[in-house]
Structure 1
Amino acid sequence: MPAELQFPRSDSRPEASRSTVAGLALATASWCARQGWPVHPLAPGSKAPAANCRGCRMNPHSPRACRCLSAGRWCHGFHAATLDQHRIQQWWGQHPQFGIGVSCGPAGLLVVDIDAHPAQPPTRDRILPGIPIADHVDLTGLANGFHTFAVLAALRGQPSPANDETTLRVRTPSGGMHVWYRVTDNRRWQSSVGSSSGRALAWQVDIRANGSYIIAPGTTTSHGTYTAIGKARTPAPLPTWLAQELQRTGHQPAPHVPAPRPVPPRAQQAVSAASGSGRGQYTLATILAPVEACGQVTEGAGFSDTLNRAAYTLGGLIASGRLPHAESVQALQAAATAARPGQEHRIEQIIRSGLTAGLDKPLRTSGRRP
């Protein structure tokens, strides 16, 4: 048990072993696993995972297809993370110089990695992505992730997580901080690097969650030791306001969006029969196309307005006898539901409103709103 971490003591281990480096590393890895945090070895003195075996290095392949993992080897970094105490005993017992990595996703952890690297701040639009900072705001003194995270928290009327004494916080050798939180729902938060072109929370503030690992406190690298600070030794639940910010900044995977559904065969047949040619089918497809295009993005795209216009146009064409009523509405509902699954009630309301208005204004030309 690393005394400086005050982790629960494993009574099965001789007290003498706790004074050795091997005992400290092994006890920490074992304790992490008992918390439900899968662990994997880090290369001695490094933040990087222990090297793959020669076979894996010579023949790159997916971790899922690797036999090394089932054989109890540590190839492929956090993909090899385990809760198996026997394997942990083997890894750190035979290699006491290994550091300890914790696989965040399977552990149900989200860790905020606050950096304190001396660097020139980026442009204002990348300091707090998604939150504009006006030119008149004085940014003098803003130098690292502690500052940007504090600004974000202050904007939300919250204290900075860097000062959250209710959760495990770890000081890094570079002067930064890891703030550990526990995910209490089933959301699979995604990792990020602060101010990146993709998802980002704040400049010099990274997120370690699914698809990444965090260094366990007590691990020593060539730059120093990761040291727990304060009294808390376990992660607190992820604060609601921070979860909202993570959701705002794209740290949740995009939900699966089905490909836009084609016009149902029944509707196609009805349209063709009503028009006596393929013109009616072409007209309907033209109306549905903008709605189907909204399905290529998970949000935005003016979906409500697009659907309302399509329903309005459809109503006008139905009123003029150019399209059949029931089959055409069915086709629009199918296209809208494919674009925004799970929003059937909202879709029905929008279609009903637009259709009612369109039926009062018969159209003599297709695809245009008067």
Structure 2
Amino acid sequence: MVEATAPVADTMTVYHCDSWVSRLSAAEDAAIQEAVSELWAYAAVPAETVGGAALVTAPVAMPRALPFAEQARRAADALGGALGGKPIDAAVVHAHVGLLGGIPALRNMRPDARLFVTEHATFLDRMLAEPDGRAGYAEVLAACEAFFVVGDELRQQLAEAFPEHEAKLKLIANPIDFDVPRAEPVTELRRWLFVGGLIERKGVRWLLEAFAACRADDPSLTLTVVGTGELNGWLTERAAELGVADAITLTGALAPEQALELMREHDLLVHPSRYETFGVVIIEALAAGMPVLITRSGGPEQTLAGIEADAGELVEIEDAPDALIAGYQRLRGRFPSGLDQAHARAVLADRYGYGAVARSHQAAWFASSYSGQTR
């Protein structure tokens, strides 16, 4: 987001409240909070980051399982410490996520500054379920000029919770880089790629079972899994049971640049998630020139509206691999003539490319008043 939008501002500074998470007793937590606060003065020295923006990183001592509102309060205190008690010196402040970014921004901005917020959290419902979390969202919504969401499902959740602020809820896209072309076009759908957390919500179990079934018909298939999570051990054990361990590469967590490079080297993104507010990795894969086999998990139906068949195959969510297996067979049967990757990529670049998203932010941030709705 910073890389995309920094060029439309004269100056941009990113304040990152970096959570240092661990399991602590109350006494340990108090001691570490005091020690971490001594670092805030050093955090005030900015470093250069993408797009020519400056980056200030403030450490936040964050025991596990804190209520969301308490996490936001600690982040606000850390930001205030990094600022030396002075307000953020900017006429426009944009917070990333409504509670954990919005509260620190609101507590540390100038009285005359205009506040904007972007929300994309898949766990929004959990934050709103906490009374203090819900109160924090209400405070941020009341203070902000516009509250951007990346998909209709998030907007619906917030509109139902805060109908009095519905007019402030606007659609705006996550920006995707479309500038790095693929060296060679995809010619076969044999090298599968998954990028995401190895957790239940991402459909990792379905992915492995579907891959094993499809590989039984075509032993040339391979699967690269990028990410880490609670199902890492299960994935290794189950792959061995299914006899496909030699065809699977587990990379663990990778830097974004490395993951994007793998997208330009593989043939097919398989992403069987149960729920996505937007689905950045799906658009990144298509930007990298790779077809997708994905579930109708919320965000993709919206982001790929009108180009589903050109982009790949969307299947229904099931508690079994059958839909993925059938979807792969259909996709392989109509590849390549039944897809139009160039058209899908062009449409998505117009919707979610850096230029499009930057113009949307510029129109919001620097207009005398803002009432538009944009993607």
- TM bucket (normalised to shorter chain) is under 0.3
Judging by fraction of residues, say which structure has more helix.
Answer: 2
Scaled by the length of structure 2, the TM-score of the pair is 0.25
Judging by fraction of residues, say which structure has more strand.
Answer: 2
Q: Name the larger-Rg structure.
A: 1
